[in-house]
């Protein structure tokens, strides 16, 4: 009882502050509920699984649910092999290891990415060179990448941001092929996006996906590495086998964070239910990226593999992906009409591709990115403040990438799950 009294008191103070802020905003015209920003794909079944797993500690490190998730993901994605880790960033680290990249190697990265991507290369002592993006899908520009290739370049990273299949996909694959470079695909926004009928991530040497709570599916934190190459897969497997699972205290907090996401962002009555849940468990929330990580320091718990409870939720989330990706496509069509009516260029959809539409990106006036409160008022949604800098979310800029500069000041993103 004594153990519980302090957190509840502290949670209580936080909840009171939350209620007064919500009330104040409501009085000033903000809707009681805006569409979910994280965890939008979580449903009652996922919350139920989290509750059950919280009572089933003796099975937290069973391998079977993890193998099931990996096999089902590989199958769903059309990949030969998949391995689940505690983050897309960790899956990327596993891929870097599996490709044997390290001292003396150099990778070309788009100068518009998440800090955790260069971090993974930095932790492996791989040198990083940034090249510019294009402004149609915010993917790597093939011309900019071609110019930056040197004798030391070993790999390029292709991403499909916001779920749009990148404009120069074929050109980049060809460029890598001609220069004998590995292709790593960052599909953290693009789980389920296709090109020529095949899922993205199956065109390069290896790819990573994310089940972090702001991505296409949620296990709160998590990521999957895929490949069709048996020897790369064997090395991914060795990396996974030598990795730890999150320790019980951390895993418990991850499960509570998932429940908090569900009750705060996805539950049909969340405008009030969230307060009850926050009061009981609000102190358990974990952040996806620690402050140290933002400074490129490798956290102690980095490099872990996914444990059974999260894999079991992943299995359930995977069955819902087609449904949510369909909802996202319908919302994108709605935003297309809105953009059209308001004089904004709609996002570019590469021929023969189907985006996953994690978010709907738009280039708008810089004032509309600086202060996004207009969107709640006009559209009833909160706008993603992703990529206010070149290396989201840290204040670090990348030189020599004028298109990325433009996207940093003008690219906003709208939600595509509008419940
Ligand atoms: C989220 C994200 C990652 C990392 O995925 P995690 O699962 O959070 O580690 C990598 N690249 C991009 C572009 C992302 O948005």
Task: Report the pLDDT value the prediction gives residue 9, as an integer from 0 to 100.
Answer: 87
- From ligand 1's centre to the CA of 116, what distance in Å? 7
- From ligand 1's centre to the CA of 347, what distance in Å? 21
Residues of the chain under the 50 pLDDT cut = 1-2
Task: Report the pLDDT value the prediction gives residue 31, as an integer from 0 to 100.
Answer: 87
> Which ligand 1 atom minimizes the distance to the CA of 289?
8
Task: Report the pLDDT value the prediction gives residue 397, as an integer from 0 to 100.
Answer: 87
pTM of the model: 0.97
Task: Report the pLDDT value the prediction gives residue 3, as an integer from 0 to 100.
Answer: 58
**Burial of residue 377, with CB atoms counted within 10 A of its CB: 0-12 exposed, 13-18 middle, 19 or more buried:** exposed
Q: Is the CB of 158 under 6 A from ligand 1?
A: no
Q: Is the CB of 288 under 6 A from ligand 1?
A: yes
Nearest to 78 by CA among 207, 252, 261: 207
- Sorted by sequence, the CB contacts under 8 Å of residue 25 that are 6+ apart come out as none
Q: Is the CB of 89 under 6 A from ligand 1?
A: yes
> Which ligand 1 atom minimizes the distance to the CA of 91?
9
Task: Report the pLDDT value the prediction gives residue 5, as an integer from 0 to 100.
Answer: 72
Residue of 89, 140, 184, 356 with the most ligand 1 atoms within 8 Å of its CB, for mutation = 89
> How is 276-311 classified by DSSP, letter by letter?
HHHHHHGGG---SS-HHHHTTPPPTTTTPBPPHHHH
Task: Report the pLDDT value the prediction gives residue 4, as an integer from 0 to 100.
Answer: 63
Q: Is the CB of 117 under 6 A from ligand 1?
A: yes
Task: Report the pLDDT value the prediction gives residue 1, as an integer from 0 to 100.
Answer: 44
d(CA 31, CA 25): 8
pLDDT digits (tens, 9 = 90+) for 18-56: 999 989 988 988 888 889 989 999 999 999 999 999 999
């Amino acid at each position: 009882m004594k153990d519980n009294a302090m957190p509840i008191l502290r949670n209580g103070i936080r909840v009171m502050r939350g209620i007064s802020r919500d009330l104040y905003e409501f009085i000033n015209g903000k809707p009681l509920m805006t569409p979910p920003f994280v965890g939008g794909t979580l449903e009652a079944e996922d919350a139920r699984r989290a509750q059950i797993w919280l009572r089933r500690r003796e099975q937290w490190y069973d391998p079977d649910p993890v193998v099931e998730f990996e096999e089902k993901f590989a199958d769903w994605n059309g990949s030969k092999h998949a391995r689940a880790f505690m983050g897309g960033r960790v899956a990327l680290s596993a891929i870097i290891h599996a490709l044997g990249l390290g001292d003396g190697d150099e990778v070309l990265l788009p100068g518009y990415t998440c800090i955790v991507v260069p971090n993974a290369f930095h932790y492996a002592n791989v040198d990083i060179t940034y090249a510019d993006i294009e402004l149609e899908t915010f993917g790597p520009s093939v011309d900019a990448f071609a110019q930056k290739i040197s004798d030391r370049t070993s790999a390029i990273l292709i991403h499909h941001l916001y779920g749009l299949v990148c404009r120069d996909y074929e050109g980049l694959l060809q460029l890598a092929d001609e220069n004998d470079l590995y292709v790593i695909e960052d599909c953290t926004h693009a789980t389920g996006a296709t090109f020529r009928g095949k899922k993205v991530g199956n065109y390069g040497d290896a790819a990573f996906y994310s089940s972090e709570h702001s991505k296409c599916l949620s296990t709160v934190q998590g990521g999957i590495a895929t490949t069709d190459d048996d020897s790369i897969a064997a090395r991914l497997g060795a990396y996974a086998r030598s990795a730890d699972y999150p320790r019980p205290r951390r895993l418990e907090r991850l499960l509570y964070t998932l429940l908090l996401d569900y009750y705060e962002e996805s539950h049909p009555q969340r405008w009030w239910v969230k307060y009850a849940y926050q009061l009981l468990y609000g102190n358990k929330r974990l952040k996806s990226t620690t402050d140290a990580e933002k400074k490129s320091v490798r956290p102690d718990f980095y490099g872990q593999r996914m444990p059974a409870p999260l894999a079991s939720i992943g299995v359930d989330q995977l069955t819902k992906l087609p449904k949510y990706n369909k909802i996202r496509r319908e919302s994108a069509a709605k935003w297309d009409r809105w953009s059209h009516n308001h004089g904004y260029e709609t996002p570019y959809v590469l021929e023969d591709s189907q985006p996953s539409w994690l978010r709907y990106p738009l280039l708008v006036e810089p004032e509309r990115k600086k202060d996004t409160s207009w969107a709640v008022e006009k559209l009833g949604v909160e706008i993603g403040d992703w990529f206010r800098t070149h290396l989201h979310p840290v204040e670090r800029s990348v030189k020599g990438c004028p298109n990325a500069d433009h996207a940093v000041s003008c690219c906003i993103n709208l939600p595509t799950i509008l419940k």
